[in-house]
Structure 1
Amino acid sequence: MTQQMFALSFGLAAMLAAADIAHGAPQCDSREAVTALLADRYGETRRSIGIAGQAAVMELFASDATGTWSITLTLPDGRMCLMASGSNYEALTEDLPAGGDPA
């Protein structure tokens, strides 16, 4: 299970990085500068956090007021990189599907 979670988190980080590379290099700066930009310009606050791979931290920032969202990746050296962003953010809480035989 641990290997599957590692593969999924590493895969997500790789997909985000690949998507961003198609649009140019990731925008990186100090964590303080990036979080200030997201708060001041877009009104975004941190909504979730997770470990990406073995050494990076993925965070989702979003704003209910503007509907914008941003995914960042903080690297071991302290740099935070903006990996993806978009609009129409909506927070969801869903129950897991029932387990067992569906019949």
Structure 2
Amino acid sequence: MTQQMFALSFGLAVLLSASQIAHGAPQCDTRKAVTALLADRYGETRRAVGLAGQAAVMELYASDATGTWSITMTLPDGTMCLMASGSTYEAVTEDLPAKGNPA
């Protein structure tokens, strides 16, 4: 009985996760179109940038006025995809630990 309940619970969790992944698939367009959308609709500007692997660029866009944020990924062909977005953005400035000291 316990194994059967575990199997049913696990199966339900997998189904829920799969629906979340499918529903949350990245939305992609040209970099120009996505940055214009983020600026015009949400007032977001680029706040951070980094390399994702050797071929993609990750960027964080956010707005102090609206509190929204978006994480994008730009591919070598110029396609930009919205990977995640949310609300209640807050910039945090923290001092980094000195070299050699465990964090």
- For the aligned pair, the TM-score class normalised by the smaller chain equals 0.7 to 0.9
Within 5 A, what are the aligned runs for 1:6-21? Answer: 21=21
In the alignment, the residues of structure 1 paired with residue 39 and residue 21 of structure 2 have an alpha-carbon distance, to the nearest angstrom, of 24
Provide TM-score, normalisation by structure 1: 0.73
Structure 2 residue matching 1:35: 3-state secondary structure: helix
In the alignment, the residues of structure 2 paired with residue 36 and residue 100 of structure 1 have an alpha-carbon distance, to the nearest angstrom, of 43
For the pair shown, which has the larger CA radius of gyration, 1 or 2? 2
**Is 1:82 equivalent to 2:82 in the alignment?**
yes
Provide TM-score, normalisation by structure 2: 0.73
Shift of 1:24: 3.5
User: Match of 1:64, as an amino acid?
Assistant: D
Tell me the equivalent position of 2:33. Answer: 33
Return closer, same or farther for 1:100/1:43 CA change in 2, 3 Å cut-off. Answer: closer
**Structure of higher RCO (CA pairs closer than 8 Å, 6+ residues apart):** 1
Structure 2 residue matching 1:28: 3-state secondary structure: strand
In the alignment, the residues of structure 2 paired with residue 30 and residue 100 of structure 1 have an alpha-carbon distance, to the nearest angstrom, of 43
Structure 1 gap segments, 5+ residues each: 1-19
Within 5 A, what are the aligned runs for 1:17-96? Answer: 21-96=21-96
Equivalenced residues, count: 83
In the alignment, the residues of structure 2 paired with residue 46 and residue 97 of structure 1 have an alpha-carbon distance, to the nearest angstrom, of 26
Q: Percent identity?
A: 84
Shift of 1:22: 4.5
Tell me the equivalent position of 1:15. Answer: none
In the alignment, the residues of structure 1 paired with residue 101 and residue 72 of structure 2 have an alpha-carbon distance, to the nearest angstrom, of 37
Return closer, same or farther for 1:95/1:75 CA change in 2, 3 Å cut-off. Answer: same
In the alignment, the residues of structure 2 paired with residue 47 and residue 76 of structure 1 have an alpha-carbon distance, to the nearest angstrom, of 21
Structure 1 residue matching 2:83: 3-state secondary structure: strand
Structure 1 residue matching 2:41: 3-state secondary structure: helix
Structure 1 residue matching 2:85: 3-state secondary structure: strand
Structure 2 gap segments, 5+ residues each: 1-19
Structure 2 residue matching 1:72: 3-state secondary structure: strand
